[in-house]
Amino acid sequence: MNTFELDSKYVAQTYRRFPVEIVAGKGAVAFDANGKKYIDMGSGIATNTFGYADDEWIAAVTAQLNSYSHTSNLYYTSPCAKLAELLCERTGMCRVFFGNSGAEANEGAIKAARKYSFDKYGEGRAKIVTLVNSFHGRTITTLAATGQDVFHTTFMPFTEGFCHVHANDTEAMLAAMTDDVCAVMIELVQGEGGVNPLDKGYVSSIAKACDEKDILLIVDEVQTGNGRTGTLYAFEQFGIKPDIVSTAKGLGGGLPIGAVMLGEKVKDTLSAGSHGSTFGGNPACAAGALNVISRLDEAFLAEVRAKSEYIFKKLASIKGVLSVSGLGLMIGIKAEKPTPEIIAAGIERGVLFLSAKDKLRLLPPLNITYEQIDEALAILAEILE
């Protein structure tokens, strides 16, 4: 049996996969089993920060593998400690808990928020306000946090204590911040929800209200983080200091690692025995993440912003593009043609696009070249002709 057949017989059929089998890649270029070349404008859904098979990243990870790939969290390991130091130095956060995915990072964030409130105020203050159209993960609790009814039709009962308000409606948010609320959790650019950035004024009014009421502000940077939006974390562009930041996707550069970054208020909330993960912060993934974060310096991030501006400008002149949204290299496109049609035509012509709701979504590797951008956008223009 070939891979398509094996997958459809033996793998749980939770994904509507495109008929492409990736077998190799380099940077922003992927190759399928027939040797066909694609420009990958999705980078594994914002995970392959430096694209496929990045030499420096491979060297960092394999050096760690050759030394030891894993031990338990009962012992000290240097990649984990150094990564936490680097993240704190770069963000102003105080401590980091490591898990293995975005959903897990959000679970950790939710646990930290509820424990902070319980330790300080006791029971009855566990509610968390999130936004309509948000996406926070696939576990039962992060599905409950996700403000989209389509995710709440099966798997009942969900974790209690979440409510959802419409994005950019300050009054609705303030009204929801009642005495039983311990945290507000937001994505600064809703990713899966359609690449919708929040208004800056709205975000700063949430931050101010949270501060006044000792409600924790959790920013879900699973997708927006790790250079994706043109700064190391998107919150830097919104002039806020979150209490908790969760991240994952691009952090490991293609290896699974998630992080819950804890600010001053909650830095000691997750005490010994209160949370844990067998693989969390494991040396191989942490070595990959250390390589990623240390390379996302100011010069590199300026280049991400320049590429973003370049793409936004080019998209504005492509016929059939109705509107463009997003931040950095996280870009949503409303086009005249239906998104599934564009994606199928892209596969045919050698470009891999993503979707987010009804939009076409671009999440290219951050080191994509201008030539590759030109090539991909020329094909998009051709498709939209």
Ligand X SMILES: *Cc1c(COP(=O)(O)O)cnc(C)c1O
**54/221 with CB nearer ligand X:** 221
| Vertex 257 angle, CA 255 and 263, to 5° | 150
**125/249 with CB nearer ligand X:** 249
Q: Which residues bind ligand X (CB under 6 A)?
A: 101-103, 106, 135-137, 187, 191-192, 220, 222-223, 248-249
Q: Is the dihedral of CA 80, 86, 88, 91 positive or negative?
A: negative
In the bound complex, what is the minimum distance in angstroms from residue 92's beta carbon to ligand X?
21
Number of Cβ within a 10 Å radius of residue 294: 14
**Three-class SS of residue 164?**
strand
Indicate the residue whose CB is closest to ligand X: 102
**44/51 with CB nearer ligand X:** 44
d(CA 191, CA 336): 21
In the bound complex, what is the minimum distance in angstroms from residue 5's beta carbon to ligand X?
26
In the bound complex, what is the minimum distance in angstroms from residue 34's beta carbon to ligand X?
29
**38/135 with CB nearer ligand X:** 135
CA-closest candidate to residue 186, choices 259, 84, 90, 106: 106
d(CA 339, CA 92): 39
**284/354 with CB nearer ligand X:** 354
In the bound complex, what is the minimum distance in angstroms from residue 255's beta carbon to ligand X?
12
**106/308 with CB nearer ligand X:** 106
Residue 108: DSSP 8-state: H
In the bound complex, what is the minimum distance in angstroms from residue 256's beta carbon to ligand X?
7
In the bound complex, what is the minimum distance in angstroms from residue 41's beta carbon to ligand X?
16
Scanning the chain, the segments in alpha helix (DSSP H) are 3-10, 43-46, 55-67, 78-91, 102-121, 140-145, 170-176, 200-213, 283-295, 298-316, 339-349, 370-384
